[in-house]
């Protein structure tokens, strides 16, 4: 993949008590990125990450992108928070939740101003956000509110499978109500445009059913007949190559074998389990519908191993590659 570009990209630090700073430091030390990029976050948290890895004097702390030094010798850190005392690793704290949030907001402003080619977000912790009084279920909702677009969707992707979600972070009993006709149409349209943004011409979209066996003609639920089938028919009439609803227990396997380019899944675990089962180190989360590029690793803060120097940066590196790919195609 040719990812040559002169436009810098922003990588947000994530929760300082999680593995975000560590995988960022490892990505820098491995020199796998072929593009200029900087960290948006806290300099002290990033310094600790490098020290855990036995590396020192690698940071160039800046207050604006104009102060950045692009090259392989130092990692630019756009400091948007200043922690006096570093939090304990692997622990939920309001301070960490606020620091992670501030980094995201700063990166969004850079992207909306056209100063970066896109943003890559390291993992945050939802409980830490809540502890800081920030009532967001996750990145997607923050990006939707501050990114300038209401209709967004989450795409999980690797080299073999791409999945777009109709509903994201909500209780399972809320899914049937939230996965209505409008939500189906939004997901189908964004799946189509997202696939095109990845360079897939005339993408083939498959829609998974909500109920077992896609409802079995109404025997196991009527959501397919009420919402999903009408949306598929309307999208097809609008020129989108979309079929379904297909049973959720086989549609992902068929997509992996090449029958479909993207699967529209009805709820969080239905879509994420197939992608993550194939390996989180190669999975990427892409937010569709924003006026700028946003990707992230396909994993969380991993508090259980934070600070030990053993976290794998593979998914973060993959997320940066996808961000550059989307920037170039878009």
**CA–CA distance, 39 with 43 (Å, rounded to integer):** 9
Q: What is the pLDDT along the chain (330 residues), one digit of tens a residue?
A: 334 457 899 999 999 999 999 999 999 999 888 899 999 999 999 999 999 999 988 999 999 999 999 877 899 999 997 777 888 999 999 999 999 999 999 999 999 999 999 999 999 999 999 999 998 888 888 998 998 888 888 899 888 899 999 998 889 999 999 999 999 999 999 999 999 988 899 999 999 999 999 877 887 889 999 999 999 999 999 999 999 999 999 999 999 999 999 999 999 999 999 988 876 667 799 999 999 999 999 889 999 999 999 999 999 999 999 999 899 876
At what angle are helices 181-197 and 229-237 packed, to 10 degrees?
Answer: 50
Task: Identify the H or E element spanning 286.
Answer: strand 284-288
Neighbours of 269 (CB within 10 A): 11
Topology match between the domains 1-149+291-330 and 159-278: yes
DSSP 17: T
Determine the pLDDT at residue 281. 67
- As a CATH number, domain 1-149+291-330 is 3.40.718.10
CA-derived radius of gyration, the chain: 20
Handedness of CA 18, 24, 27, 28 (dihedral sign): negative
Question: Exposed e or buried b for every residue in 1-38, given b needs 16+ CB within 10 A?
Answer: eeeeeeebbbbbbbbbbbbbbbbbbbbbeeeebebbbb
User: Distances from the Cα of 36 to the Cαs of 4, 19, 31, 60, 313, in angstroms?
Assistant: 10, 22, 11, 14, 17
Helix (H, G, I), strand (E, B) or coil at 9: strand
Q: Is the domain defined by 159-278 classed in CATH 3.40.718.10? A: yes
Domain map (residue ranges) of the chain: 1-149+291-330, 159-278
pTM of the entire structure? 0.87
Given a contact cutoff of 8 angstroms between Cβ atoms, the answer to whether 78 and 42 are in contact is: no
């Amino acid at each position: 993949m040719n990812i040559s570009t002169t436009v810098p990209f922003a990588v947000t630090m994530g929760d300082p008590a999680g593995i975000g700073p560590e995988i960022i430091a490892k990505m820098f030390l491995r020199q796998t990125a072929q593009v200029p990029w900087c960290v948006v976050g806290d300099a002290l948290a990033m310094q600790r990450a490098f020290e855990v890895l036995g590396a020192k004097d690698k940071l160039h702390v800046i207050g604006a992108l104009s102060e950045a030094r692009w090259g392989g010798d130092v990692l630019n850190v756009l400091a948007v928070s200043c922690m006096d005392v570093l939090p304990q690793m692997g622990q939920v704290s309001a301070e960490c939740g606020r620091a992670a949030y501030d980094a995201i907001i700063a990166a969004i402003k850079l992207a909306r101003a056209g100063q970066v080619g896109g943003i890559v977000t390291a993992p945050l912790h939802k409980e830490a956000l809540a502890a800081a009084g920030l009532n967001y279920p996750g990145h997607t909702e923050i990006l939707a509110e501050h990114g300038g677009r209401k209709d967004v969707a989450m795409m999980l992707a690797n080299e073999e499978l791409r999945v777009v979600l109709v509903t994201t972070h909500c209780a399972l009993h809320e899914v049937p109500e939230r996965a209505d006709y409008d939500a189906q149409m939004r997901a189908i349209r964004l799946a189509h445009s997202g696939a095109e943004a990845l360079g897939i011409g005339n993408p083939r979209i498959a829609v998974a059913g909500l109920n077992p066996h896609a409802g079995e003609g109404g025997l196991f639920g009527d959501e397919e007949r009420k919402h999903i089938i009408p949306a598929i028919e309307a999208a097809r009439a609008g020129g989108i190559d979309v079929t379904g609803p297909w049973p959720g227990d086989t549609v992902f396997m068929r997509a992996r074998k090449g029958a479909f380019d993207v699967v529209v899944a009805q709820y969080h675990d239905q879509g994420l389990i197939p992608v993550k089962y194939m390996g989180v180190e190669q999975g990427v989360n892409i937010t569709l519908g924003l006026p700028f590029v946003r990707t992230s690793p396909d994993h969380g803060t991993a508090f259980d191993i934070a600070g030990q120097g053993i976290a794998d940066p593979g998914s973060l590196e993959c997320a940066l590659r996808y961000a550059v790919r989307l920037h170039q195609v878009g």
